[in-house]
Amino acid sequence: MNVLIAILTLVLLAVVIAVISAPLRATRSRPDGASRERSELEAAREAKYREIRDAELDYRTGKLSREDYEAVDRALRGEAVEILNQLQAPSGPEED
């Protein structure tokens, strides 16, 4: 029984070492500042899209007047385009 436990423990240890050390054996990669910026902007873009859709649903379900909706929608689209411009800017992060 003790031998079996020792073997099982060693197998587990080997698996753990293999799993943990795999990235250290692979080619090095540097953190990519551009991709980080890109992820942030993409998250902001998706949040803005959601806001635009929510405003439209609020309008269609009678919670916003037409004037208010148009004002809110215009502002939100402006903000969305600003984010899209940042995503497409030559100095900014590249498109996937």
If one asks whether residue 49 binds another protein (CB under 8 A), the answer comes out as yes
If one asks whether residue 94 binds another protein (CB under 8 A), the answer comes out as no
Torsion of the alpha carbons at 74, 79, 80 and 86, rounded to the nearest 10: 150
If one asks whether residue 9 binds another protein (CB under 8 A), the answer comes out as yes
CA distance 54 to 43: 16
Is the CB of residue 86 less than 8 Å from the CB of residue 41?
A: yes
We find the least distance from the C-beta atom of residue 91 to another protein, in angstroms, to be 19
- Give the 3-state secondary structure percentages of the chain, helix then strand then coil, rounded to 5: 80, 0, 20
Contacting residue, 14, 84, 89, 94, with another protein by CB under 8 A:
84
**Contact set with another protein (CB under 8 A):** 1-2, 5, 8-9, 12-13, 15-16, 19-24, 26, 28-31, 36, 39-40, 43-55, 57-65, 68, 72-74, 76-78, 80-81, 84
